[in-house]
Amino acid sequence: MSDQLQERHFARISWLVEEHSGIRLPPAKRTMVEGRLRKRIRALGLTRLEDYGHAIFEGGQLNDELSHLIDCVTTNKTDFFREPDHFDFLRERALPLLASLRNGANAPYKFWSAAASIGAEAYTIAMVAAEALGLDARRFSVLGTDISTEVIAQAQHAVYPTAMIDPVPPPLRERYVMRAIDARRQEVRIVPELRRAVRFECLNLMEPTYRVDRDFDVIFCRNILIYFAKATQNAVLKRLCNHLRKGGFLILGHSESLAGAELSTMRQMAPTVFRRAA
């Protein structure tokens, strides 16, 4: 007998995931969901996906299991310097334009990685900021948020497989990455000086309000909106823009846009890069 979720259990899981995270799971994603849940059912001491469905929906375990379910099915693809032209824009255009608004004031720059996953994007932002502003937590801060408690814990630990840092330019690797003393571990860790400028919190972009500051200079929200229905995309975009200071930048993934979001204060500066009117 094949090991599959019952149709009604998959339908309820799909509804729950979209309701709580905004991520759509059409029938074509069923095999992917089942594959990711198999590791979870072993952790629970179950043997079949059907048992998992019964446990959470008929067995009263849903409240305890929901966060683990979301963690399992959430895609957490991430890399250092992913879509590198965005970081070129940050260094070459955004930071100089933001500096011109400060008129010499020393207020710290504030960045937000709104779908941070295991932290590679947030630490990439921090590297670029440190190169431009100096490695000083009083000069800038980076907030990384994600719905998944599991990936936030990984981001806070800041330990990565050595192969993950290949996209980091060698001079930045020398300054901001430490290699494990035992080379057999094939791991690196972000240096403590950079980690001090970055903090991570759990945040669900589906929440009606975000418990974060409203004066960010740059918000990165890349490659997550594509998993949302259009109405959800537009609602999230409006909420994010409310947390930008005037003159601040919103950076989306290369397959995402503000089309249909009705954000009259935002102006496109480059592909998938938008600026709030100063």
For the segment 214-255, what is each residue's pLDDT rounded down to a tens digit?
999 999 999 999 889 899 999 999 999 999 999 999 999 998
Confidence class of residue 59 from pLDDT cuts 50, 70 and 90?
confident
**Averaged over 169-181, what is the pLDDT?**
94
Q: pLDDT above 70 covers what percent of the chain?
A: 98
Q: For residues 27 and 7, what is the distance between their CA atoms, to the nearest angstrom?
A: 10
**Torsion sign (Cα): 259, 265, 269, 273:** negative
> What is the per-residue pLDDT for 148?
87
From 257, 261, 263, select the one nearest 277 (Cα to Cα). 263
| 146 flagged as catalytic | yes
**Cα 19–146–149 angle (5° rounding)?**
90
Residue-wise burial string across 184-212, b where 16 or more C-beta atoms lie within 10 A, e elsewhere: eeeebebbeebbebbebeebebbeeebeb
User: Is 44 exposed, middle or buried, given 0-12, 13-18 or 19+ CB atoms closer than 10 A?
Assistant: middle
User: Residue 2: its pLDDT value, please?
Assistant: 67
* Count, residues in the chain: 278
Residue written as token pair 């009263």: 60
In the prediction, which pLDDT does 180 show?
84
Inter-CA distances, 63 with 7, 16, 148, 235, Å: 21, 12, 16, 26
pLDDT of residue 103: 77
Does residue 1 register a pLDDT over 70? no
Q: Is pLDDT at 124 greater than 90 in this prediction?
A: yes
* Per-residue pLDDT, 68: 86
Selected catalytic residue, list 24, 30, 36, 38:
36
pLDDT for residue 240:
96
Percentage of the residues of the chain whose pLDDT score is greater than 90: 60
pLDDT band at 163 (very low <50, low <70, confident <90, very high): very high
Taking the C-alpha atoms of residue 37 and residue 9, their distance in angstroms, rounded to an integer, is 13
> In this predicted structure, what is the pLDDT of residue 206?
92
**Is 182 marked active-site?**
no
